[in-house]
């Protein structure tokens, strides 16, 4: 072949090969074009390209990427340490004929036994492999050098392809991301435009830069009218602007948002209430670029709220008026009834013939019935008004039960009925609850039971259902063998003014309010009540209530049963009492009652007199009427309490009023009064208060109910023991009594001192020493109280304050016992 | 077996005599003249439940004779039964039936008959090679008509098809001889702009201008659209390959824009020569082809069958000497029975591969396949 032709052919080969690459950005097409061309031009049996990176595929080592002529290939791979790659580390190209012992290392694509391979490195990405069986001496050096030039071009082209693919993928990802953002923006834009919530976007200066349809409709503007406006200029109340700005400055950090209720001005001037929630827009550099506000039109809700508020105010006024009416009614009705009952009581102490006594009994019965009805109506009013309050005070349930049952003894004996009560010994602690309301409930039920029972028995059963976590769940059962209740009436028996049969009202009387009150009182304390009854056989009214556990054990229960309220005799005798009362009948009633208890008194007819008297005389207690014509009892009390020079500044003051409302009681305590008595005043209640507040320490009123056994329980000395052991020797007895009197007076002083010092050990020792003396003189109650106090002193869980009160009371009792002994000494002498 | 008349009856009767078994297939090579009703023939062949495939060609070869009528029927044992691929240019590997692995074709030969005037034959052959690998031999040719008008020309049980290929792998190993004998007359030149089978530019100039400058001087006539086919068949293009014969591309028509239409694709930017034929050189090439098949002066080939795919334009060029070419082949064979007589077709393009190299469509080439 002429040299010129050879050169042209060589150049044309390089030309053709050069043009076969780079015509496509697809590496596979690029490789196919190159392999097709070189295989055809060089008359090769086959050629192949192996790569260590293939688009969209993980390659471990080098994988056959393209081969020509093509054949079905799958995952033909070479490791990174293959012979070919090791060779290529030394030389960028080499050729091997079948004479070379390494020839077989190159046989991969097809099983060949003779021919020559030429291998060219493709940069860092792979290699090119050529095979021809028509070259006896393999590929020539010139041929290899020529091809190397073109293979380098192929390498560059493939690098470009891969770079393009990477760029394309990145571009695609970016486009997809942009598309996703665009779609997201479209979605939210659509949602924001179509939602019912208004939206305003403002720049950092507060100028509106975007407004959606909903806010435009809400405020009556077009979007272009709102854009550019100061958002704050739309506020109806200028001060809102300051509040929003203050909060906004605080909340103007990423992740913070704030919401407000404020008023906007509609374009037509009408107010538009909105609930606004606002969040800052923070750019990627952390800069505040404005904020988004979402606005919910709450005008309708606000209007409704205002209407409700107005209605509530009207209702409150009506309720207040109702309560005032009840208060006044209570006062106006109770005051004359109080006088009627009181005068009846006084009249009964005068000399009367039998007819007069009958009339007086009827009068007393009618007055008390009327008072009962009024009390019921007032209770119901209080329940309905939700103003009823329940006390939480400790009391001995067994003692309570026995007293209650005893109070019905007379009535049961009148009807020749068996009446008894049963307590549960498992209730071994003083319970905490409202004994007054419990009394009201059980009195109602027992009174009913006695009313509707002609034969048989009436009983009260107190049973512990469970005890846990400082709580007693107690069942009360009032049982009778009376007329019973028809089954179809059981559901309605607790309704207002309902009795099982209209004839019952005619036959037995009653308003039909009692059971309603009972049920309300039980349920308001979280209890339940039901009836088990059989017509003609009797009824069981059963209710359950929860009480607190004071943790204080009940002692000497059987002894307490005998401690009925008795006359005050020497316990308050000699006390000086101020009566502040404008009602003359009530004055007389109080005066006569106090006289009966050997108390002295002074009467003030109005507030001014009361204040004057309080400055002149030292009183042990003041009984203060609330409703007086000039200054009421609250104000009068305030003046006495606030006058530092007043000698009665700290004297106990007990409010007296016909108003039975709870807020009256609260007001009395707030005014500085110590307690509260509701007219008509029962002598027992009055006595109870006088005993409690006359001469006690400041802590007396805080003393728990369990100390009651230590109060007012002094019994007359019983000298039978002394007479027995001395065979009635008066000198011996007198000597013992004088010794006791001396010892008791000394002990009183010591107890007062120990109480002040909080010396419990010496108190215990002293009581222990005195105890045999109490027994010797038949001062049994004092003896038991001493034992109880000793036990209390040994317990760890009583506060010193309470113990000091108990010791003081013990001292008072001992002092009274001393006076009683002194009386005996006088008799003996 | 050659039938002078391609009647349906004669074909069916002959097939009956062949006693075709279930794993056998009948190759039917029809000459373009006196074609039977092809649809009816296919229907009746299907009715017989006989596997078959075939094509229509400008001429048939039996022994040293060329026939423009009649048909040749041959029975083979098949490894893969005939399958048809329509739309040659669009065929993908996934369109091929999922047959066996290429290793199982190692002892077989793929007989490939396709529409010789279909575009993108090169790509199709690449896909076929990918499917069947280099494991089996390939021999076949472009079917069609002398008019060079595209029309239905290949068939199988699916019907008579245009722009399609039928392929069958028979259980016979082939030895191939592929030669043309055309010599460089002018060049080299670069096909600077081509589109599939059409050369638009040579050396960056209008193709016909460059071609005319070479050919008109030699033949004394300027080429135009009227005389192009007749003159150009003596001046084909050769696609350069090192150490091997050029691949010949037959220029068959001159387009109005000066571009030249060929049988088979011309790779872009490839180096071409204008070739010129000498009958003696062509005949010498035939001898070389037979030597490639294994013959020698002293040892003719003892083949059970010999299939010839000879280009129609080569035959036309050789004119009366075509019989000498056939005699060269025949004389290289040991023929002891009529079945050993060589047979074949005059084709529009010849298909084969050099050994286990690329599968190619040749022009003006003789392909001889001897089966053991």
Other beta carbons within 10 Å of A624: 29
**CB-nearest partner of B241 from A41, A68, A112:** A41
Task: Inform me whether the C-beta atom of residue A172 falls under 8 Å from chain B C-beta atoms.
Answer: no
Q: Three-state SS across A36-63?
A: HHHHHHCCCCEEEEEECCECCECCCCEE
Give residue A292's pLDDT band: very low, low, confident or very high (50, 70, 90): confident
Taking the C-alpha atoms of residue A585 and residue A725, their distance in angstroms, rounded to an integer, is: 54
Task: Give the up-direction half-sphere exposure of residue A373: CA atoms within 13 A in the CB hemisphere.
Answer: 12
Q: Are B46 and B157 a contacting pair, CB within 8 Å?
A: yes
pLDDT at A310 over 50: yes
Q: Three-state SS across A586-607?
A: HHHHHHHHHHHCCCEEEEECCH
- What would the DSSP string read from start to end of A592-650? HHHHHTT-EEEEESSHHHHHHHHHHS--SEEEEES--SSS-HHHHHHHHHH-TT-TTTT
More confident residue, A358 or B96: A358
Other beta carbons within 10 Å of A241: 17
Task: Inform me whether the C-beta atom of residue A330 falls under 8 Å from chain B C-beta atoms.
Answer: no
Task: Inform me whether the C-beta atom of residue B97 falls under 8 Å from chain A C-beta atoms.
Answer: no
Structural class in CATH, domain A195-297? alpha beta
Task: Inform me whether the C-beta atom of residue A68 falls under 8 Å from chain B C-beta atoms.
Answer: yes
- pLDDT for the residue A567: 37
Taking the C-alpha atoms of residue A337 and residue A674, their distance in angstroms, rounded to an integer, is: 25
Q: Is A395 exposed, middle or buried (0-12, 13-18, 19+ CB in 10 A)?
A: buried
Taking the C-alpha atoms of residue A7 and residue A563, their distance in angstroms, rounded to an integer, is: 143
Q: Are B228 and B253 a contacting pair, CB within 8 Å?
A: yes
Q: To 10 degrees, the CA torsion angle through A696, A701, A702, A704?
A: 90
Shortest CA distance to B277 belongs to which of B310, B305, B316, B330? B316
Residue A36 with chain B: CB contacts under 8 Å: 126, 267, 358
- pLDDT for the residue A557: 39
Residue B240 with chain A: CB contacts under 8 Å: 9, 12, 41
- pLDDT for the residue A218: 92
Taking the C-alpha atoms of residue B281 and residue B265, their distance in angstroms, rounded to an integer, is: 25
Q: A750-792: per-residue pLDDT in tens?
A: 888 888 888 888 888 888 778 777 877 888 778 777 877 877 7
Domain boundaries, chain A: 3-167, 195-297, 389-560, 720-828
Two tokens, residue B102 = 């290429």
- pLDDT for the residue A257: 59
- What would the DSSP string read from start to end of A452-496? T-SSSEEEEEEEEEEEETTEEEEEEEEEE-SS---GGGTTTTTST
Instruction: Measure Cα distances from B311 to B35, B117, B180, B277, B314 in Å.
Output: 21, 13, 9, 14, 5
Average pLDDT over residues A381-409: 79
Taking the C-alpha atoms of residue B313 and residue B228, their distance in angstroms, rounded to an integer, is: 14
More confident residue, A546 or A715: A546
Taking the C-alpha atoms of residue B241 and residue B220, their distance in angstroms, rounded to an integer, is: 30
Give residue B41's pLDDT band: very low, low, confident or very high (50, 70, 90): very high
CA nearest B359 in A: which residue?
A69
Average pLDDT over residues A403-418: 83
Q: A166-207: per-residue pLDDT in tens?
A: 888 888 899 999 988 888 888 877 877 777 889 888 988 889
Bridge pairing between strands B205-206 and B198-202: antiparallel
Starting at the earlier edge strand, list the strands of the sheet with B65-67: B65-67, B59-62, B343-347, B305-311, B366-371, B174-179
Give residue A254's pLDDT band: very low, low, confident or very high (50, 70, 90): low
Taking the C-alpha atoms of residue A824 and residue B272, their distance in angstroms, rounded to an integer, is: 159
Q: Are A678 and A658 a contacting pair, CB within 8 Å?
A: yes
- pLDDT for the residue A497: 53
Q: A467-526: per-residue pLDDT in tens?
A: 887 889 999 999 999 998 888 888 778 875 555 555 555 455 555 678 888 998 999 999
Contact check, Cβ <8 Å, B358/A68: yes
Q: Is residue B275 within a helix (H) or strand (E), and if so which, with residue range?
A: strand B271-276
Other beta carbons within 10 Å of B370: 28
The correct answer on CATH 3.40.50.720 for the domain covering A3-167 is no
More confident residue, B323 or A727: B323
Q: Do the first three CATH levels of A3-167 and A195-297 match, i.e. the same topology?
A: yes
Taking the C-alpha atoms of residue B174 and residue B294, their distance in angstroms, rounded to an integer, is: 11
CATH topology of domain A389-560: Heat Shock Protein 90 (3.30.565)
Average pLDDT over residues B199-204: 94
Residue A12 with chain B: CB contacts under 8 Å: 188, 190, 240, 271
Taking the C-alpha atoms of residue B142 and residue B154, their distance in angstroms, rounded to an integer, is: 9
Average pLDDT over residues A17-29: 86
pLDDT at A714 over 70: no
Contact check, Cβ <8 Å, A69/B134: yes
Q: Which conformational region is residue B187 in: left (phi greater than 0), alpha (psi within -120 to 50 degrees), or beta?
A: left
Average pLDDT over residues B157-174: 93
Q: What are A474's strand-pairing partners?
A: A464, A545
- pLDDT for the residue A708: 36
Taking the C-alpha atoms of residue A578 and residue A580, their distance in angstroms, rounded to an integer, is: 6
Taking the C-alpha atoms of residue B175 and residue B79, their distance in angstroms, rounded to an integer, is: 18
A515 three-state secondary structure = helix
Taking the C-alpha atoms of residue A520 and residue A514, their distance in angstroms, rounded to an integer, is: 10
Other beta carbons within 10 Å of B264: 25
Taking the C-alpha atoms of residue A828 and residue A744, their distance in angstroms, rounded to an integer, is: 18
Q: Is the Cα torsion angle B95, B100, B105, B106 positive or negative in sign?
A: positive
Q: A330-354: per-residue pLDDT in tens?
A: 667 777 777 787 778 778 777 888 8
Instruction: Measure Cα distances from A180 to A163, A171, B161 in Å.
Output: 25, 14, 49
pLDDT at A364 over 90: no
Taking the C-alpha atoms of residue B140 and residue B136, their distance in angstroms, rounded to an integer, is: 13
Residue A68 with chain B: CB contacts under 8 Å: 358
Q: What percent of chain B has pLDDT over 70?
A: 96
Taking the C-alpha atoms of residue B167 and residue B78, their distance in angstroms, rounded to an integer, is: 11
Q: Is residue A815 within a helix (H) or strand (E), and if so which, with residue range?
A: helix A800-828
Other beta carbons within 10 Å of A386: 9
A176 three-state secondary structure = helix
- pLDDT for the residue A495: 72
Q: A568-625: per-residue pLDDT in tens?
A: 344 677 788 999 988 776 787 788 778 777 788 889 988 999 999 999 888 889 999 8
Q: Are A16 and B271 a contacting pair, CB within 8 Å?
A: yes
- What would the DSSP string read from start to end of A202-237? E-TTSBEEEE-HHHHHHHT--HHHHTTSBGGGGBSS
Q: What are B186's strand-pairing partners?
A: B274
Q: Is the Cα torsion angle A110, A113, A116, A120 positive or negative in sign?
A: positive
Task: Inform me whether the C-beta atom of residue B120 falls under 8 Å from chain A C-beta atoms.
Answer: no
A543 three-state secondary structure = strand
Residues A720-828, CATH architecture: Up-down Bundle (1.20)
Residues in chain B: 372
How far A55 CA lies from chain B's nearest CA (Å)?
Answer: 21
Task: Inform me whether the C-beta atom of residue B243 falls under 8 Å from chain A C-beta atoms.
Answer: yes
Write down the ipTM of this complex.
0.80
pLDDT at A562 over 50: no
- pLDDT for the residue A707: 34
**CB-nearest partner of A134 from B240, B243, B267:** B243
**CB-nearest partner of B133 from A68, A71, A134:** A71
Taking the C-alpha atoms of residue B183 and residue B279, their distance in angstroms, rounded to an integer, is: 11
Starting at the earlier edge strand, list the strands of the sheet with A93-97: A77-78, A62-68, A46-51, A126-132, A116-122, A93-97
Residue B355 with chain A: CB contacts under 8 Å: 45, 133
Interface test with A, best of B274, B357, B362 (most A CBs within 10 A): B357
Q: A427-464: per-residue pLDDT in tens?
A: 888 888 888 889 889 988 998 899 889 988 999 999 99
Please report where in the chains the tokens 């399609």 appear, as a residue: B164
pLDDT at A700 over 50: no
pLDDT at B36 over 90: yes
Q: Measured at the alpha carbon of residue A82, what is the angle toward residues A79 and A88, in degrees to the nearest 5?
A: 120
Q: What are B166's strand-pairing partners?
A: B84, B113
Instruction: Measure Cα distances from A92 to A102, A127, A139, A470 in Å.
Output: 17, 9, 15, 95
Query: Between the ranges A249-258, B36-45, B336-345, where is the mean pLDDT highest?
Result: B36-45
């Amino acid at each position: 072949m002429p040299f010129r032709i050879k050169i042209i052919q060589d150049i044309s080969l390089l030309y053709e090969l050069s043009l076969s690459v780079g015509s496509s950005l697809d590496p596979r097409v690029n490789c196919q074009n190159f392999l097709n061309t070189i295989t055809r031009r060089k008359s090769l049996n086959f050629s192949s390209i192996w790569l260590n990176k293939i688009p969209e595929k993980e390659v471990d080592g080098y994988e056959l990427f393209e081969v020509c002529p093509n054949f079905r290939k799958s995952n033909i791979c070479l490791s990174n340490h293959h012979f070919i790659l090791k060779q290529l580390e030394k030389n960028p190209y080499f050729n091997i004929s079948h004479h070379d012992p390494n020839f077989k290392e190159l046989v991969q694509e097809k099983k060949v036994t003779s021919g020559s391979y030429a291998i060219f490195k493709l940069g860092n990405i792979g290699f090119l492999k050529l095979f021809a069986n028509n070259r006896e001496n393999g590929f020539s050096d010139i041929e290899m050098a020529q091809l190397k030039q073109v293979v380098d071009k192929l390498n560059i082209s493939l690098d470009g392809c891969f770079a393009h693919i990477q760029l394309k993928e990145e571009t695609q990802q970016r486009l997809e991301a942009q598309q996703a953002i665009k779609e997201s923006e479209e979605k939210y834009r659509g949602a924001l435009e179509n939602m019912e919530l208004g939206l305003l976007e403002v720049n950092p200066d507060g100028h509106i830069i975007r407004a959606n349809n909903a806010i435009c409709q809400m405020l009556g503007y077009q979007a272009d009218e709102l854009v550019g406006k100061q958002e704050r200029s739309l506020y109806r109340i200028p001060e809102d602007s300051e509040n929003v700005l203050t909060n906004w400055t605080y909340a103007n950090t990423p992740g913070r948002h704030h919401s407000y209720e404020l008023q906007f001005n509609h374009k037509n001037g009408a107010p538009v209430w909105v609930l606004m929630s606002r969040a800052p827009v923070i750019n990627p550099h952390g800069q505040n670029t404005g904020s988004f506000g979402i606005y919910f039109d709450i005008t309708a809700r606000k209007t409704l709220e205002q209407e409700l508020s107005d209605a509530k105010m009207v209702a409150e006024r009506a309720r207040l008026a109702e309560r005032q009416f009840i208060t006044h009614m209570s006062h106006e009705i109770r005051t004359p009834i109080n006088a009627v009952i009181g005068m009846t009581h006084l009249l009964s102490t005068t000399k009367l013939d039998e007819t007069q006594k009958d009339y007086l009994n009827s009068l007393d019965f009618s007055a008390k019935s009327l008072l009962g009805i009024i009390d019921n109506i007032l209770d119901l009013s209080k329940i309905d008004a939700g103003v009823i309050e329940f006390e939480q005070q400790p009391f001995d349930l067994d003692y309570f039960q026995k007293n209650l049952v005893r109070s019905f003894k007379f009535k049961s004996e009148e009807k020749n009925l068996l009446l008894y009560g049963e307590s549960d010994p498992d209730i071994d602690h003083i319970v905490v609850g409202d004994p007054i309301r419990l009394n009201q409930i059980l009195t109602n039920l027992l009174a009913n039971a006695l009313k509707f029972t002609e034969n048989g028995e009436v009983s009260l059963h107190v049973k512990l259902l469970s005890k846990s976590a400082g709580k007693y769940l107690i069942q009360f059962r009032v049982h009778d063998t009376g007329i019973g209740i028809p089954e179809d009436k059981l559901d309605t028996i607790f309704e207002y003014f309902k009795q099982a049969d209209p004839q019952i009202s005619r036959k037995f009387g009653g308003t039909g309010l009692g059971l309603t009150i009972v049920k309300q009182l039980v349920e308001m304390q979280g209890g339940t009540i039901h009836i088990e009854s059989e017509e003609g056989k009797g009824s069981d009214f059963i209710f359950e209530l929860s009480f607190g556990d004071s943790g204080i054990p009940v002692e000497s229960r059987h002894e307490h049963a005998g401690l009925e309220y008795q006359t005050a005799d020497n316990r308050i005798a000699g006390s000086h009492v101020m009566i502040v009362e404008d009602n003359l009948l009530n004055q007389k009633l109080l005066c006569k009652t106090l006289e009966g208890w050997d108390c002295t008194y002074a009467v003030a007819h109005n507030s001014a007199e009361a204040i004057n008297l309080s400055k002149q005389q030292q009183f042990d207690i003041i009984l203060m009427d609330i409703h007086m014509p000039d200054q009421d009892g609250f104000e009068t009390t305030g003046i006495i309490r606030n006058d530092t020079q007043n000698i009665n500044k700290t004297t106990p003051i007990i409010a007296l009023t016909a108003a039975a409302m709870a807020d009256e009681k609260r007001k009395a305590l707030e005014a500085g009064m110590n307690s509260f008595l509701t007219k008509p005043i029962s002598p027992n209640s009055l006595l109870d208060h006088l005993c409690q507040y006359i001469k006690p320490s400041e802590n007396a009123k805080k003393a728990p109910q369990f100390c009651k056994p230590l109060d007012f329980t002094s019994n007359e000395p019983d000298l039978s023991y002394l007479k027995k052991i001395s065979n009635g020797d008066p000198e011996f007895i007198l000597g013992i009594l004088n010794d006791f009197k001396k010892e008791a007076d000394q002990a009183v002083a010591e107890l007062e001192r120990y109480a002040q010092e909080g010396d419990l050990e010496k108190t215990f020792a002293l009581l222990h020493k005195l105890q045999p003396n109490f027994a010797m003189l038949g001062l049994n109650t004092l003896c038991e109280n001493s034992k109880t106090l000793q036990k209390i002193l040994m317990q760890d869980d009583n506060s010193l304050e309470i113990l000091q009160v108990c010791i003081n009371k013990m001292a008072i009792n001992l002092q009274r016992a001393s006076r009683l002994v002194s009386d005996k000494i006088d008799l003996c002498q | 077996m050659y039938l002078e008349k391609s009647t349906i009856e004669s074909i069916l009767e002959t097939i009956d005599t062949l006693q075709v078994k279930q794993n056998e297939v009948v190759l039917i090579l029809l000459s373009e003249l006196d074609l039977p009703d092809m649809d009816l023939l296919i229907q009746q062949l299907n009715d017989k439940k006989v596997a078959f495939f075939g094509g229509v060609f400008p001429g048939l070869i039996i022994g040293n004779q060329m026939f423009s009528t009649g048909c040749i029927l041959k029975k083979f044992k098949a490894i893969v039964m005939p399958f048809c691929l329509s739309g040659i240019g669009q065929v993908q590997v996934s369109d091929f039936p999922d047959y066996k692995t290429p290793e199982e074709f190692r002892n077989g030969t793929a007989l490939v008959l396709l529409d010789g005037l279909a575009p993108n034959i090169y790509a199709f052959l690449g896909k076929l090679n990918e499917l069947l690998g280099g494991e089996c031999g390939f021999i076949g040719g472009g079917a069609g008509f002398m008019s060079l008008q595209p029309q239905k020309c290949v068939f199988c049980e699916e019907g008579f098809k245009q722009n399609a290929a039928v392929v069958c792998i028979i259980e016979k190993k082939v030895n191939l001889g592929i030669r043309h004998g055309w010599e460089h007359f002018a060049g080299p030149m670069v096909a600077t702009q081509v589109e599939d089978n059409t050369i638009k530019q040579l050396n960056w100039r209008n193709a016909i201008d460059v071609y005319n400058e070479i050919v008109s001087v030699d033949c004394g006539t300027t080429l135009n659209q009227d005389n192009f086919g007749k003159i150009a068949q003596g001046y084909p293009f050769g696609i350069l390959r090192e150490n091997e014969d050029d691949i010949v591309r037959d220029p068959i028509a001159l387009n109005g824009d000066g571009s030249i239409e060929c049988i088979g694709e011309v790779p872009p930017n490839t180096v071409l020569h204008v070739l010129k034929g000498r009958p003696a050189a062509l005949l010498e090439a035939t001898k070389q082809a037979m030597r490639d098949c294994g013959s020698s002066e002293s040892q003719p080939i003892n083949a059970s069958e010999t299939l010839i795919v000879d280009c129609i334009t080569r035959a036309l060029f050789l004119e009366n000497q075509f019989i000498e070419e056939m005699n060269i082949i025949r004389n290289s064979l040991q023929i002891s029975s009529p079945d050993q007589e060589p047979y074949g077709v005059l084709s529009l393009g010849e298909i084969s591969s050099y050994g286990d190299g690329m599968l190619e469509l040749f022009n003006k080439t003789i392909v001889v396949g001897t089966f053991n």
